[in-house]
């Protein structure tokens, strides 16, 4: 359906160009200052309505979107699964059309099924922002990760990034791989063979990485046989949350064994560059995919990620509801 005004859906990172990604990150940089003020509110989106439609539990992401909307003076409404009419047998499409009839400017949607934001975007007049759809994408997470990396590394191009854990079920990994490789970083993924199939390298058009450093030779996305191989020489180590239910579906035998062979410890982290940073999308399972030493250590930027989450989402809501990218 034609969007009546200049509106923009953020369905995933996959469909964005490097210029568009940089545009969002630059716009976010301009909103950082708002969050540093004592009165953290600007009138940018006054009169606009944002609906947070969450079909899946979330504390962090929903709060982050809500704060982002409120700091821009938009009216934000939260709808979560338990309160929604989906439990009354209404289809997701009907729910969305009913909300759309209330003429919001933007619907932020999270759903456990991949593709729901795409399906909504086809019928909705409001802009659709994907806040995580199944195992597909979680674009604002990748954007806030990129913002955190840019802040500490001053660039993304040429960096070596290791992503460790349950890659195949992870929307965070997918969005991050798309974003990082589009911006010229080299990504190495590793984890149990059941959760990191070798074919995963086909996720992107796997060209050779930008050879800004000799260490960067090789494809942009590589599946590494061992966690240590992925971490070795990394500038950024990204750890994914391990879902406890994967143990029951025979992806790995026990959490104990997982933590021994695939968990991020200080010992493994020492294989990375000295100034390497550690990211985790949260919520963490301490002592399983990441040891507390690492999580609370000086190289961990986990709380920075949460902080930049609000900033990036302010930029995304601003752009989705018709704002133009701000470059400084």
φ and ψ of 254, to 5 deg: -145, 155
To another protein, the closest distance from the beta carbon of 121 in angstroms equals: 5
115 makes contact with another protein (CB under 8 A)? yes
Looking at the Cβ atoms of 167 and 315, the one nearer to another protein is 167
134 makes contact with another protein (CB under 8 A)? yes
For residue 224 the two structure tokens come to 């590494």
Alpha-carbon dihedral sign for residues 38, 42, 79, 107? negative
Question: Can you tell me which of 77, 92, 255, 306 binds another protein, judged by CB under 8 A?
Answer: 92
Q: How far apart are the first and last CA of the chain?
A: 34
**Largest pairwise CA distance in the chain:** 58
Q: Which stretch binds another protein (CB under 8 A): 61-69, 118-126, 304-312, 319-327?
A: 118-126
Looking at the Cβ atoms of 94 and 270, the one nearer to another protein is 94
Looking at the Cβ atoms of 183 and 272, the one nearer to another protein is 183
Nearest-CA neighbor of 126 among 251, 1, 298, 261? 1
To another protein, the closest distance from the beta carbon of 197 in angstroms equals: 8
3-class SS of residue 141: helix
Query: Footprint of another protein on residues 191-210 (CB under 8 A)?
Result: 197, 199-200, 202-205
137 makes contact with another protein (CB under 8 A)? yes
b/e string for 213-229 if b means 16 or more Cβ within 10 A? eeebeebbbbbbeebee
Question: Can you tell me which of 18, 77, 93, 271 binds another protein, judged by CB under 8 A?
Answer: 93
Looking at the Cβ atoms of 11 and 290, the one nearer to another protein is 11
73 makes contact with another protein (CB under 8 A)? no
8 A C-beta contact, residue 307 and residue 31:
no
Looking at the Cβ atoms of 38 and 199, the one nearer to another protein is 199
**In the beta sheet, which residues pair with residue 78?**
52
3-class SS of residue 226: coil
Rounded to 10°, the helix 60-71/139-153 angle is 80
φ and ψ of 134, to 5 deg: 50, -135
To another protein, the closest distance from the beta carbon of 25 in angstroms equals: 19
Question: Can you tell me which of 3, 60, 118, 286 binds another protein, judged by CB under 8 A?
Answer: 118
Instruction: Give the neighbor-by-neighbor strand order of the sheet with 75-80.
Output: 75-80, 49-54, 106-111, 127-133
136 makes contact with another protein (CB under 8 A)? yes
Q: Which stretch binds another protein (CB under 8 A): 167-175, 214-222, 303-311, 317-325?
A: 167-175
Structure-token match 């996305």, residue found: 221
To another protein, the closest distance from the beta carbon of 84 in angstroms equals: 14
Binding site for another protein (CB under 8 A): 9, 11-12, 14-15, 91-93, 111, 113-116, 118-119, 121-122, 133-137, 168, 171, 174, 197, 199-200, 202-205
């Amino acid at each position: 359906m034609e969007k009546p005004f200049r509106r923009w859906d953020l369905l995933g990172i996959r469909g964005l160009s490097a210029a568009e990604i940089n545009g969002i990150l630059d716009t976010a940089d301009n909103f950082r200052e708002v969050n540093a003020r004592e009165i953290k509110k600007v009138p940018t989106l006054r009169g606009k309505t944002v609906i947070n439609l969450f079909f899946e539990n979330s504390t962090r992401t929903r709060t982050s979107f809500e704060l982002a909307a409120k700091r821009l003076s938009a009216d934000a409404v939260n709808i979560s699964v338990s309160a929604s009419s989906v439990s009354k047998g209404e289809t997701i499409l009907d729910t969305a059309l009913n909300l759309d009839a209330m003429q919001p400017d933007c619907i932020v949607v999270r759903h456990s099924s991949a593709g729901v934001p795409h399906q909504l975007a086809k019928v909705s007049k409001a802009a659709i922002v994907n806040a995580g759809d199944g195992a597909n994408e979680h674009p604002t997470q990748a954007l806030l990760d990129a913002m955190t990396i840019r802040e500490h590394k001053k660039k993304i191009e040429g960096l070596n990034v290791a992503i460790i854990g349950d890659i195949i079920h992870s929307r965070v990994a997918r969005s991050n791989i798309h974003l990082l490789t589009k911006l010229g970083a080299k990504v190495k993924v590793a984890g149990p063979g059941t959760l990191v199939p070798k074919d995963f390298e086909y996720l992107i058009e796997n060209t050779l990485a930008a050879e800004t450093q000799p260490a960067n030779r090789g494809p942009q996305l590589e599946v590494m046989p061992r966690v240590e191989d992925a971490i070795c020489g990394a500038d950024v180590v990204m750890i994914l949350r391990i879902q406890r239910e994967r143990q029951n579906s025979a992806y790995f035998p026990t959490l104990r064994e997982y933590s021994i062979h695939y968990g991020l410890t200080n010992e493994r982290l020492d294989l990375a560059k000295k100034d390497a940073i550690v990211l985790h999308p949260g919520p963490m399972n301490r002592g399983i995919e990441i040891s507390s030493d690492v999580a609370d250590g000086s190289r961990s930027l986990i709380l920075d990620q949460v902080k930049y989450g609000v900033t990036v989402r302010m930029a995304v809501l601003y752009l989705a509801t018709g704002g133009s990218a701000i470059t400084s």
